[in-house]
Amino acid sequence: MQEATFLILTALADGSQHGYGIITDVQKISGGRVRLRAGTLYTALDRLRADKLIGVDREEIVDGRLRRYYRLTPAGTRRLAAEAARLHANANAALTRLNPAGGMAT
């Protein structure tokens, strides 16, 4: 899974969000490192919708423009959990090897 996709799913993990909300949230989650552009975001959202990992939660009209809220589907939640566990295991393995004594690196 690409990092952008992972971060988008993470942004939706605690509730539905609209496109602009996802962009600001992803920026926050990644500590300001990842700033999604609209093209990247909507290509990913379109793919995730086709794969049924996310769905449309609701639609609103704000200032005459359509605003669509996305949420994780059960399949999306499972997929994100599996990916997070995989990354976690990898990170743990790396940290263990970097620091075999198990103490804190200083």
Partner 1 sequence: MTDSASLERGYRRVLACYPRAFRRESEQEMLAVLMATAREGQRRVGLAEAADLIRGALRMRLRPASRPPRTVFTAIKLMYAGAAVELAAWITVVVTAGSVKSAMVHRAPAQWHAALIHLLAVEVIGPIAIGLWLWMAWANGRGNDGARLAFASFFALMTLSLLGWLAEGAVVYARAELIACAVLCLIQLAVVVLIFNKKSNPYYRPELAQR
Q: How many residues bind partner 1 (CB under 8 A)?
A: 20
User: Rounded to whole angstroms, how far apart are CA atoms 23 and 21?
Assistant: 5
x/- track of binding to partner 1 for residues 13-52 (CB under 8 A)? -----xxx--x-------------xxxxxxx--xx--xx-
62 binds partner 1 (CB under 8 A): yes
Q: For 41-84, give the DSSP string.
A: HHHHHHHHHHTTSEEEEEEEEETTEEEEEEEE-HHHHHHHHHHH
Contact residues for partner 1, defined by CB under 8 A: 18-20, 23, 37-43, 46-47, 50-51, 62, 65-68
